[in-house]
Structure 1
Amino acid sequence: MSHAVHDTRPSGSLRGATLPKWFPWAVAAASTALGFGVSTAAGLHSDIQWALIAALLFVVGSYAVSAKVEGRRQARDRTATSLVWVAFLLAVIPLASLTWETVKRGIKVLDGYFLTHSMGVVADTEPGGGIYHALLGTLEQVGLATLISVPVGVLTAIYLVEYGRGRLAQAVTFFVDVMTGIPSIVAGLFVLSLWILILDMGYSGFAGSMALAILMIPVVVRSTEEMLKLVPNELREASLALGVPKWRTILKVVLPTSVGGITTGVMLAIARITGETAPVLLLVWGTNFINANPFQDPQASLPMYIYLQYTNGSEAAYDRAWAAALTLIAFIMILNLVARGIARWKAPQTGR
């Protein structure tokens, strides 16, 4: 006896109603307008307040309309997407505002003269002068900190990945983690007590470099350690199987494979310490004159220059402070671009 099989599925599409692609943009526009209207009616004059109201209305409105048309499951998905966009905007808008404000104020006096002259013959309240002495000090101090921290950080990471076993490796890892969270002022106080107060070596750019190196070492260790862990063990085993010693395997196989990532980590560590002010304030002090010797006498730096000019209070000093801040941001941006370029250049090449 045969039994007929009937298709009980609906003849239409299995997919429910779907909102158009322009729906999020429409909700965003409506939320912005409504948020601005609510803040105006409530007498709120802060842009942040009406923006937060608009963001809340955007999330609630997206969920309410989507739940009505598409169902609760799709509405929850749209809510998660809306929260991601709100978080993204909350992160980008302050950054873009900061960059715009710095460019707008810093471009007033930023020119070739400003970059090639110092403040040695110009009073802080007078227009003119430049940042050559501060830029030179920053380059020397950061360069010395890099020379100190990179060998120590890279060799420490090699030990942890290639040799580290037992309690010593655990202790080193623990102290590296602790150093990662050390405030810059603590590093400055340590060098101040040891180098200046106990050894009586005096204030200098090198003293600031040692504090910056303390802040830089854990970043270099962590980034190098992660890059070394990404090197496949098959490469190490193949080299060792050919009779190559372990130290030579690390030198000729492991490090060349991970050099792109290590260089990127070093560049990011340099960018992290370039703007530090507390160690420089404690150990380097500052001067309006050019001091090309980082091992003797106070030396200027860009963070210190910005601080001193802004606390001066005059209009000309404000303009110089903003121009120096723009220079510092540009310098860090260049370092990040160089790091990305090196990482792409040294990235492992896949087969064609």
Structure 2
Amino acid sequence: MKTVIYKRKRWSVALVVLLVFSLSLMSGCSKQTTDNNSISVESTQLNMVAGTSGGVWYIGMGAIGKLYSDNYPGTTVNLLAGGSSGNPLRLESGETDFSITQHTMAVAAAKGQEPYKKATQNVSSIINLKDITRLNIVVRDDVPIYSIEDILEKKYPLKLAHGPVGTVSEVFGRWAFEEYGVGFKDITSWGGKLFANNYNDVASLFQDGQIDMFFWTGPGEAGFIQETASGTKLRWLPVKEEVINTLAEKYGLNKGTIPAQFYGGAVGTETPCVIDATELIVRKDLQEEIVYNLTKVICENKDDIVLAYSAWNTFDPETAWQDLGLPLHPGAEKYYKEKGWIK
């Protein structure tokens, strides 16, 4: 089965959702490989792992998958759900070909640092999207928590939606809380509860009072937060500077802010947070020509990708090869050199 090909270049939201659905239906197809475990360019099946189903990475990677199949007829693209910390391991094992992760996770995978037990050997980077991915720590306004320190001081029985385990929201949020002395086990020992639901569920759970707080890490403004803010008063908690500095030293995160005007002004004040960027990654042993073509399609169709997911408008093809957490794949390097961006 081939990916559905649409003739129109300008995509509506409904079209992108249909695209993602069509890609996800193909996950049962068998993989065609050559004797050296490389994919045949003439009849390619490209297995992609994104973020949580229906999330922003899922939409963005779906758009990339469509562009690839449009430009290389005969290609079948399978899009699967995943998570930032788990995605490098799925490439390492050969389960998938192309994926997405945070720069911090790429660095950790290359070095074998937490959350990885050892360094990856079969994972390469191709693009740093240079987006600004922010950790949002959001609490309902009627919950008597005004800082992360309050949770520890009050031993508050927090009902926390940290996101699916292994996603960057869960990992970054857990790292930040641990620097304040608040572990997930502490929260449950105080009578709290942890939720790993997809964000499609979080808005309704939050509005119903079943959740007090959630983490979300991503660029721009999330649709589910916009939905939640329309019916529930929210409060964004800051991460103090000394914690940000520690997280930067340990994991490579950086200091940023959540703009006051986000979510129709619901954030209210510039809120200090930790930030990161997004990298696109591939199997190191993926055929060079496929990686060259993939890099070319992404770099030469930025406008279409941004139409599908506007927060990636920071992507600059000329510098996309810089500041990578993992070694640059030779196929991507070939493309950048041909363009004259790598001298």
Please state which structure has a larger fraction of its residues in strand.
Answer: 2
TM-score by structure 1 length?
0.23
Kindly indicate whether structure 1 or structure 2 has the higher relative contact order, using CA contacts under 8 Å at least 6 residues apart: 2
TM-score by structure 2 length?
0.23
Please state which structure has a larger fraction of its residues in helix.
Answer: 1
